Structures are given as C-alpha cells and as structure tokens.
Structure 1
Amino acid sequence: MQIKKLSYISLLASSLVVAESTNSSSLLTDILFYREDNLILLPFAYSSESMGTGGGMAAIVQGFLQPQTTLILSAFGGLKKDVVINGTKESEYTRGGFYYLDNVRIPGSERFFFSSYGYLTTIAEQNFYFDSTHESSDKDVLNSPATNNMLTGTFSYVLPWGEGIDNPGGLYEIKDGFVVGREDAGGGMPFVTGRTSVGFTAFYHHQKIDNYIDALGVGIDVPKEWNSTGLRVFMSHDNTDFDDNPSRGYSFFLQYSKDFGKYESLQSWDFLEFKASKYFELDTFSFTRQNVLALNFWTAYSFSWENNNEYLPGIDAHRPPMWEGPRLGGFVRMRGYDANRFADKAAIYATAEYRAVLDYNPIKDGTFGEWAAENIPIDWFQVVGFVEAGRVHDRYNTELLSDMKYDVGISLRALAAELPVRIDVAYGDEGVEAWVMVRHPFDF
C-alpha cells in the first residue's frame, strides 16, 4: 500500500511546526545521539514532498535552571525545492527554529509556573483546506509556500489539593523509563487526589501564504496573511500514575480560547474545548513489560463562527484560523487524514489505543555495543494499535454522531531522553498518513 502523504516534524519540536506533503519518498530520522549529564543533542535528517530534503539539530536540557524545568531548542533547514507560486515556477526551501521552555517555577512562589514556546518557520509547500466541512473533498486544497510564526506564554497555578500540596512541580523518580514509588497513584476522587492547575496563555500567530492568485482554481481570494492574537484560560486535572506515560488513572482538560480582533488580528473568534482520558493497566505477555488500554475523548465548539456570513469569499466570519478551533486531521486527532483537513463550528472525537511496552530493547541489551547502551537514551520501545472516530458539523447536535469519519493505525514509540517519541501510520478513506512526533497524542 502506498503512503499518500508523509509528514515530518523535528522529534523535539512538540506539536507546533507541522509540514504536510504528498507522495513522499523517504524519511530519515535521528542519526546520532549525544548525551552529557542533562544535555542531549540530537541531529536529524528528513526528506518529504512538503519540506524537501534537509536536516537540523535539536537539544534537550532536563533540569534547566530548576529540577522540574525542561528546555528544548531546535533548528532545521533544507535544500531548495521547485514549487509553483501564482502560476510561476520558483524555488523555495524549508527553514526554521523552535524553542520550548516548560514548567519554570516563578521565584518567590511554590505554586506559580511559567511555560513558553515559539517558532519561526518557512515551509516550502504546505496544504490549506479553506473548504473543510465534513462533506468537502480533499482535492479542494491549496498548495503554497508559507511562513508560520508563533509565540506563547503560559502562567499556571497548581492548586493546593491532592498531590499539588506536597509536589506542585510534578517531580517523579524514573528508573529504566518507568516511574518509581507510584504504585498507589492513579485514580481516586477528582481534586482530592491528583494534581490540578488553572491558568492562562497569551498567544500570537502569524501565517503568510505566497500562492494566492486563483486559489483552488475557482478564483477564491484567500487571506494572504492571517494574524491571530488572544488569550486562553484553562483548568487541567491529572490523576494518573505518570503524566508522560500513564498506565492507570484519568485526566481531563477544559479550555476557552478567544481572539478579540485587536492588534492586527484578521478577525475575532473563540472556541471552547474539553478533553478527557482514561487508562487501564492490563496483564503483560511474556514479551512485554507493560500493557495499557488508553481511551480519549475530545469535543469543541466555536460560539463565534458564523456559517451563513462570510468575512472573505470562502472564509466564514469569526471562524478560528485553520490551525485553531474545532478541527480534525493531523498528528493529534484523526491521524489518517491530512493536517487540519476538517474544521467547522463543532467537533467531536474519540479514540482507543492499545499500548504495549516491549521487553526487547536492542539499545540497552548491548546489541549495538556498550557505547550505545550507555549513551543512547532510549529506555524502551512501545508498539501501539489505535482506532479513531470523529466528525465536524455546523451545529452542536446529534448529527455529530452520524456518518463519522474513521481511521485505524499502528504506532512505534520509544522513550528517548525521558520523552515519548512516536511514528504513527494511519489509514482513512482518503489514503494513508504517516507522522513523526514527540509525546503521546493525548497530551496535546
């Protein structure tokens, strides 16, 4: 079976810089690990129809400034790629950089934390779906070089409830990729046990599309630039044994996002989202170290989205940008479809994953030599099978549960430098998609 599209992202660049491609030929991931104490350097290479051929370098610093803080830096670039821009054949290349600073305790406080991420990228050929309704065709796609810039800052407060009383920073002891001393954790009464946080995020996103004349072949005037600036407010509750790789317990997340239409934003918009996950620890086999059934549900609704009123031809008034709002498709939800393939006023989604950590680890058992066993920070490999279902609709009603989109897939994951890294391959009714990403999809 031919993979229709293959998307690559720096293994350390979280969920923030995605490139879609068509009929990609190959993908080369990590070629070397370098580790010294809490610093890990990770060169990588890629080849895809979207980004062309190139490579880069990423770095992880665990315990940066404070024991619970992680810093991730990544930079990448590629060779020039031939593309068509407004009817003219030109050469473009992918380049960019990314940073992620997570969980910095604000000086003088035990419970206030700050996180931030940002990136500057130019993608040689990106896919845009301006008609993204449930009934839309994947042929109605605009391919264009695009610039994507993002900056966010998050302030969170860990409430003095449950585990937040004695461990607001969420520090755990990890041995061989598994949490230690948490045998009784996971589950229990919400807010009585577990860790609960509230906070807000300020964000800015800029997107510039180069190929805008006669978009989609029907003369729709797409926005050449889409700026969005706003705030999110959220509540997060984690009641699992290990937030990075849970084996039991549950978590849920509620967030409201709003762009007020100020500071050069294209238009105002908002949306509300809710996510819940549940984990069941299962019996192991002779060849596995851990077996888990993981379930996830997500739903979203945009109060502002006006389906019967247009800001521009083909762009509904007060709809969130294509990278925001009630949307499906990509490396998080409906992985058998292109990134941001479906979007509308309302969305619903559910998935089940069977996660099995293998007893076999050729890195640690010395297959590749003593140097690899001591210096390549891969603690385990995990095989995952998953199924997904979801739909978008112009109203939040029972129609969301009818004629849903489905996909199935398999994933190979590894705990590298104490972060899950995954390669997902999923099949839906529009073809096969493959994604390379960090963290489990439920974490986004």
Structure 2
Amino acid sequence: MLSSTLLSAVENDSNTTKCKTWIFLPYAFSSDATGFAGGISTMRRSLFQPQTRFTATLFTGLPQDVTINEQPDEATFSGGFISFSDYKLPYTDRLFFSFMAFKSYFPKNRYYIDGSHTSHKDDVYISSGDSDFFTTTFRYTLPIGEGVDNPEGLYRLEGGFCVGREDCGGSVPFITGRTSVGIKTFFQTDNTENTEMWEDSIWWENGTSRPTWNTNGLRFFLTHDNTDFDINPSRGYQFQLQYSKDFGWGDSLQSWDFLEFKYNHYFELDTFSFTKQNVLALSLWTGYSFSWDNDTEISPGFDAHRPPMWEGARLGGFNRMRGYDQDRFSDKAAFYAAAEYRAIIDYNPLKDISWIPAKVDWFQVVLFAEAGRVHDQYTIDLVNDMKYDAGISLRAMVSELPIRFDVATSEEGTYLWLMAQHPFDF
C-alpha cells in the first residue's frame, strides 16, 4: 500500500535565483484510501518575514468504485491544504502564530475502531466521507538560552548544512538551547456515508444525513530544543510535554484528554569515505488519556471520553510504527521507541541542475527500527509483547527541508510513505 500526506515546504536559498520566490510543484501518488491521485503545490519561504513558511496545495483523483449503504457507487478523492507558520505577531519580539487547514473527501477512509493491541488488521471500517481539520498555534519563545538573541530560530546554511554552530547541541537544559511554551487550538470532523452501523448510536446526529465525529479543543505545550540544527540535527536532544483537552464544547461528540511526552537524542558518528554526515537518532514517546472510561460506553463498542482514532495514544502510520497502517492501534496508553541510522552520502546527481524548480542539497540513506504498544492501562505491560517493524528510507534536502520516502515492513505487511521532515524531529 502506498500512502502519502500532502505537506511540503520551501526554504530560502541564498546561493541561487530560487531565493524568496514562489515554487510550483506537480505531484502524483496512490493509496488505498485515495486511489490514484495528483495535484499541484505552491510553496514559499520568508513570506512577509524571514522565518515564515507558506504552503498550499490542491489535489484530486480518479473515480473509484465504492459501496455506500450496500449499493455500488463511484467516489473521487479531492481537497486542499494550506499552511502558514512562524509569523511573528506585530508589536511582539517572541510571540509567533501558525495555522494549518485541510479539507478533503476520501473514497475509502479506513477507521480502526477497535485498535487494541490484540485487534486484527482486518477489523477495519471503510467508508467514503469527509475528513477536515483546522489548527492554530501561538508559540512564545522564552528569553533564556538561545531564545535571548535568536527567538526566530534562524540559522545560516551552506549546502544543506548548518554552519557556525559547531559548539552547539547537547549542553545544559534551559541554560542553552531554545525553549518555547504555547497553546494550540484544534478542530477536526470526520463523517461517513455508510450509515448502517451508526443509526442506533450517538454517532447518528439528529437532523444530519451522515454520522459525524467532531472534536475540538486546546493543546498546551512546552518544547525545548538543544540541538545544533532543529530541522536536521546531528547532535544534542529535544523534548516536548503536551496536554490536549476536548472540553465537549459546541458540536464535539464527547470530552476527552491526553497527556504526552517526547524525547529525541542525536549522536554524531564518524563518517566514511563516501558519506558527509553519519548520525544515530533515537526517539521515545509515551502518552496517557486520563479521561478514557473503559467501563462506560456511549454506543456499542465505543468507550466514553476516549479520543478519536486519529488522536491520543495511537500508533501506526507515517510517523510512528511505519510498518503498520495509519492509526492502526489506539487505546488509553501508548509507548513508542525508535532508532534511525542516518547517513548523508557524498553523491548528489541533482546538484546544480538549473531546470529543477527547487534546489536539492544532499541525499541521505536511513536504516530504522521501531517498537511500540498500546494498552488500556499505564503499567509495565506497555513494554511487554511489543509490536516491531524495520525499514529503509531515502531522504533529500529539498530547498533546505528534508523530504523522505520510507519503506517499512512488519508482521502486517509492507508500507510506503512519502512525507516532509524526519518522522520524529521537531
């Protein structure tokens, strides 16, 4: 199965005519949920301010044969995405604003309603329907460490490598590095056109034509980055503590919460004759939903105050447990660990080719392994009988942003992911 998320970005390139210009890139992909599809993206770095990044894309697909309420039909993947990040608000020195919006229609969206550790991969609910989200972020860089003189996080890059930071990365927390606190708003709605299994449940909203899961709320976070280069670290560490809360406001299906913690560490290794940089990247992530009530159901099979399948303690997909389907596992608690060996090779067939719309600075080969588990309690069982996968990835620094093509295999199959950014870096 080939899956893709339509997120891209572009950085300023001071060495070429592609500096601070709009870039337009066509693309094509295929997945079980979308069928064969394609679109076009436009991207720009330093829009209005040096540290900002703007991305927008429109996409559509070929018609697919689907079944809606036991009747054959056709459906077509379509939608769009827009993102604008790190805009420093007027009359402030450290307060940054970002937003992201996604509107889509999927012919065959996949939901693992019972995503427990012992669930079977064939226990999946497939339906056509809309999947839309909108988020905003207000981030305040604290006036400590590197945040005193560089709250924007701007670096000087040459050939896709950060220069002038040879002594940075891995020192004393909060004394060095950049620390931010902030708040995010989120809203997401998913609806399904196959209605049979929902008609006698709370999912069936009075006066609507389709069952809908709406969720909205706030996230509160603290992030500390103590690496030499946050986009592609070679040494140092990062961590984030985040609490998400749906208060049950408005048309939210039900209230829920989730507390999570992530820690990444990077070790710079000796290079070979054919490599420019070798790094061992390690990641640990864990989370717990205090609100999830295992003893109460809002509808048959749905526990009360649980996060949606795409939120909370979930594993599987393009960031965590890449050898499994997107959001394959979900429960009250989760634990995840990963290791990547990243080697930037001393060979770049696309270097200095003028007709490519975005500069490619380097290619990277990555070997990775992952382990994780979800559970209905936060106990030692989280690290027993874990799920595993392993894979290989080809990555490139495209307009000073890592783009990756991951191939991962597990006991449930082989999955391919085309994504922007490393899977667990900030």
**Who is 2:124 aligned against?**
141
Q: Answer yes or no: is 1:263 the counterpart of 2:250.
A: yes
**Who is 1:10 aligned against?**
6
- 8 A contact 2:20–2:44 mirrored in 1: no
Cα distance, 1:239 vs. partner?
0.3
**Who is 2:97 aligned against?**
114
**Matched residues in 1 for 2:103 and 2:251: separation?**
19
1:67-216 paired onto structure 2 within 5 Å: 67-214=50-197
Cα distance, 1:146 vs. partner?
2.1
**Who is 2:295 aligned against?**
308
Over aligned residue pairs, what C-alpha RMSD do you find?
Answer: 1.8
- Paired amino acid for 1:253: Q
- Paired amino acid for 1:84: T
1:413-428 paired onto structure 2 within 5 Å: 413-428=395-410
**Who is 2:13 aligned against?**
none
**Who is 1:406 aligned against?**
388
Residues 282-323 of structure 1 deviation map (CA, whole Å, 9 limit, x = unaligned): 011111111000000000000000112111111110000111
Cα distance, 1:100 vs. partner?
1.0
Q: Answer yes or no: is 1:393 the counterpart of 2:375.
A: yes
**Matched residues in 1 for 2:120 and 2:254: separation?**
26
- 8 A contact 2:391–2:406 mirrored in 1: yes
**Matched residues in 1 for 2:241 and 2:166: separation?**
28
- 8 A contact 1:77–1:93 mirrored in 2: yes
**Matched residues in 1 for 2:411 and 2:213: separation?**
30
Q: Which secondary structure state, in structure 1, belongs to the residue aligned with residue 104 of structure 2?
A: strand
**Who is 1:30 aligned against?**
none
- 8 A contact 2:44–2:54 mirrored in 1: yes
Q: Which secondary structure state, in structure 2, belongs to the residue aligned with residue 443 of structure 1?
A: coil
**Who is 1:29 aligned against?**
none
- CA distance 1:192–1:65, shift in 2 (3 Å): same
**Who is 1:64 aligned against?**
47
**Matched residues in 1 for 2:309 and 2:344: separation?**
35
- 8 A contact 1:35–1:41 mirrored in 2: no
Q: TM-score, normalised by structure 1?
A: 0.90
**Matched residues in 1 for 2:332 and 2:35: separation?**
34
Cα distance, 1:335 vs. partner?
0.5
Q: Answer yes or no: is 1:240 the counterpart of 2:227.
A: yes
- 8 A contact 1:383–1:410 mirrored in 2: yes
Q: TM-score, normalised by structure 2?
A: 0.94
- 8 A contact 2:9–2:43 mirrored in 1: no
Report percent identity of matched pairs: 54
**Matched residues in 2 for 1:65 and 1:443: separation?**
26
- 8 A contact 1:200–1:231 mirrored in 2: yes
Given candidates 221, 240, 246, the residue that maps to 1:253 is 240
Residues 371-399 of structure 1 deviation map (CA, whole Å, 9 limit, x = unaligned): 247x5411111110000000000000001
Cα distance, 1:279 vs. partner?
0.2
**Who is 2:212 aligned against?**
225
Residues 131-176 of structure 1 deviation map (CA, whole Å, 9 limit, x = unaligned): 1100001111111112111111111110000000000000001111
Cα distance, 1:37 vs. partner?
3.9
**Who is 2:33 aligned against?**
50
Q: Answer yes or no: is 1:325 the counterpart of 2:312.
A: yes
**Matched residues in 1 for 2:237 and 2:28: separation?**
36
- 8 A contact 2:185–2:218 mirrored in 1: yes
Q: Answer yes or no: is 1:434 the counterpart of 2:421.
A: no
Given candidates 276, 283, 286, the residue that maps to 1:296 is 283
- Paired amino acid for 1:10: L
**Matched residues in 1 for 2:65 and 2:155: separation?**
48
**Who is 1:21 aligned against?**
none
Cα distance, 1:36 vs. partner?
6.4
Residues 235-276 of structure 1 deviation map (CA, whole Å, 9 limit, x = unaligned): 000000000000000000000000000111000000000000
**Matched residues in 2 for 1:231 and 1:441: separation?**
23
Q: Which secondary structure state, in structure 1, belongs to the residue aligned with residue 146 of structure 2?
A: helix
Unaligned ranges ≥5, structure 2: 11-16, 205-210
Residues 216-247 of structure 1 deviation map (CA, whole Å, 9 limit, x = unaligned): xxx99866200011000000000000000000
Unaligned ranges ≥5, structure 1: 15-33
Q: How many corresponding residue pairs?
A: 413
Q: Answer yes or no: is 1:341 the counterpart of 2:337.
A: no
Q: Which secondary structure state, in structure 2, belongs to the residue aligned with residue 400 of structure 1?
A: helix
- Paired amino acid for 2:416: A
- Paired amino acid for 2:359: P
**Matched residues in 2 for 1:273 and 1:335: separation?**
19
